[in-house]
Amino acid sequence: MAEVSQSMGQTAHPTLSLSACLRLAIGRMGHVAHAAEVRHA
């Protein structure tokens, strides 16, 4: 799919937007918290 975008002149490696970074970070924190809970249980 990256090559398809590239053939149309779009960037091959899209940069992450700030909101996407935040969502990733929050998602990661949730994952870590969940894993900690599981370990604790």
Partner 1 sequence: MLDASPAPLVKVRDLKMYFPIHTGVLRRHTGDVKAVDGVSFDIMAGETLGLVGESGCGKSTVGRALIRLYEPTAGEVEIAGDNILTLAPEALRKKRPQMQMVFQDPQASLNPRMTLAQIIGEPLIEHSGKTATDRLARIYELMDQVGLNRRFANRYPHEFSGGQRQRIGIARALALNPKFIVCDEPIAALDVSIQAQVVNLLEDLQDRLGLTYLFISHDLSMVRHIADRVAVMYLGRIAELSPRDALYAKPLHPYAEALLSAVPEPDPDREGSRQRIILKGDVPSPANPPKGCAFCTRCPKVMDICRTDRPALTEVEPGRQVACHLFPTTSAPAKSTSGGQYQLQQHGV
Is 6 one of the binding residues for partner 1 (CB under 8 A)? yes
Give φ, ψ of 9 to 5 degrees. Answer: 90, 10
Is 15 one of the binding residues for partner 1 (CB under 8 A)? no
For residues 6 and 12, the answer to whether their CB atoms sit within 8 Å is yes
> Under rule CB under 8 A, how many of the chain's residues touch partner 1?
8
Is 1 one of the binding residues for partner 1 (CB under 8 A)? yes
Query: Nearest CA to 13 among 25, 3, 28?
Result: 3
Is 27 one of the binding residues for partner 1 (CB under 8 A)? no
Is 23 one of the binding residues for partner 1 (CB under 8 A)? no
